[in-house]
């Protein structure tokens, strides 16, 4: 399967956007401020979601094989992403089992600042993977439901035409 020129353009745009967001994160983060790291990761995650949503919308608008998303569909996509981000349980456990005395995302005693940031970043990527998998699955499920409805109407129509044709042939 070959990718279009626009696929590579979107990929490059996304890489640029994400790299800029990471640069901003590193410019603003202070290793001495515990909450600043978590806040920075949250902003990075929000930026990532917005970037991916923008690219999905742009891809649908530019791709001839895909119908452009209407404004309400674009809003629905963004709402689904937001709802998945805010869903209880979308936060993955940051601490191993049995570590009940530390807040999620807190730096472990044996962990350096860089290791902590890397761990939080990996957790964010895992959340993103789950969020986008769930969003795409729900969009696909909606599509399948609509397709099944359309198919049942088509089947019903052809069944009626067949009955009509059959009765006219017997008359």
Radius of gyration of the chain measured on its C-alpha atoms: 24
Cα dist from 64 to 41, 58, 79, 136, whole Å: 36, 12, 25, 20
- Encode pLDDT of 2-55 as tens digits: 555 667 888 888 889 888 988 998 888 887 787 888 888 888 888 888 888 888
- 1 close to 49: Cβ distance less than 8 angstroms: no
Task: List phi, psi (to 5°) of 54.
Answer: -60, -40
Structure confidence at residue 88 as a pLDDT band (50, 70, 90): low
Residue 121 within a domain = yes
Cβ-based neighbours of 55, under 8 Å, separated by 6 or more:
10, 13, 14
CB-side neighbour CA atoms (13 Å) of 23: 6
pLDDT digits (tens, 9 = 90+) for 127-156: 888 888 888 888 778 778 888 888 888 888
Report residue 56 as tokens: 């999905």
Distance (Å, rounded) from C-alpha 171 to C-alpha 161?
Answer: 15
* Angstrom distance (rounded) from CA 136 to CA 105: 28
In a domain, 14, yes or no: yes
Whether 134 is in a domain gets the answer yes
Q: Is residue 15 part of a domain?
A: yes
Buried b (16+ CB within 10 A) or exposed e, 42-68: eebbebbbebbbbbbbbbbeeeeeeee
Q: From CA 44, how far away is CA 37, in angstroms rounded?
A: 10
Per the structure, the complete domain to which residue 125 belongs is given by 3-86+113-139
pTM value? Answer: 0.64
The answer as to whether 20 is a domain residue is: yes
Tally the domains of the chain.
Answer: 1
């Amino acid at each position: 399967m070959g990718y279009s020129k626009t696929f590579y353009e979107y990929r490059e745009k996304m890489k640029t956007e994400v790299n800029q967001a990471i640069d901003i994160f590193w410019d603003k983060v202070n290793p001495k401020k515990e909450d600043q790291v978590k806040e920075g990761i949250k902003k990075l995650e929000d930026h990532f979601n917005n970037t991916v949503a923008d690219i999905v919308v742009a891809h649908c608008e530019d791709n001839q094989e895909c119908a452009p998303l209407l404004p309400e569909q674009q809003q629905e996509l963004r709402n689904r992403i937001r709802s998945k981000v805010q869903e209880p349980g979308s936060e993955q456990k940051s601490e191993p089992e049995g570590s009940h005395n530390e807040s999620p995302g807190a730096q472990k005693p044996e962990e350096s600042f860089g290791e902590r940031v890397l761990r939080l970043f990996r957790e964010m990527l895992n959340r993103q993977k789950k969020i986008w998998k769930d969003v795409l699955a729900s969009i696909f499920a909606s599509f399948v439901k609509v397709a099944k409805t359309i198919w049942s109407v088509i089947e019903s129509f052809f069944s009626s035409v067949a009955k009509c044709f059959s009765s006219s042939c017997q008359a």
